[in-house]
Amino acid sequence: MTIIKCPECRNPISDKSAICVHCGFATKDATDEDIQRAARIVRLKRQQRMSMLVYTAMLVFVAGVLGVYFGRQRPTPELLIMGYIGLALGGVGYLAGRIFAIFDKRR
């Protein structure tokens, strides 16, 4: 008995089990087309998560830009510090998301 990954949810299951205990995918009755379809769905969901990470990072970056702008307009150090933190987190998050997306496409 070996442990394999379910084609639908990618959780570890036994190769002897007929149905995945995590998502209910019928592993014994699955054709090659079903397995390829499940793998494509998993890949699309992963790409959607990555794009949501990139969009969130862009939103944090824009919030940081606004924080820096308004922190300089009215001298409030808290707003200025939060703006710089937003700039840093948004920029790093955006770059990390893009790098992960590039490596994911190569797989």
pLDDT at 89: 95
pLDDT tens, position by position, 95-107: 999 998 888 877 6
Residue 65 lies in a domain: yes
pLDDT at 9: 81
Classify residue 84 as exposed, middle or buried by CB count within 10 Å of its CB (0-12, 13-18, 19+).
middle
Residue of higher predicted confidence among 84 and 22: 84
Tokens 């409030």 found at:
76
60: containing domain: 47-106
Q: What is the largest CA-CA distance in the chain?
A: 67
State the chain's mean pLDDT as an integer.
86
pLDDT tens, position by position, 45-75: 888 988 999 999 999 999 999 989 888 888 7
CA nearest to 58, candidates 87, 29, 27, 99: 87
Number of domains in the chain: 1
Residue 96 lies in a domain: yes
Q: How far apart are CA 79 and CA 64, in angstroms?
A: 9
Residue 26 lies in a domain: no
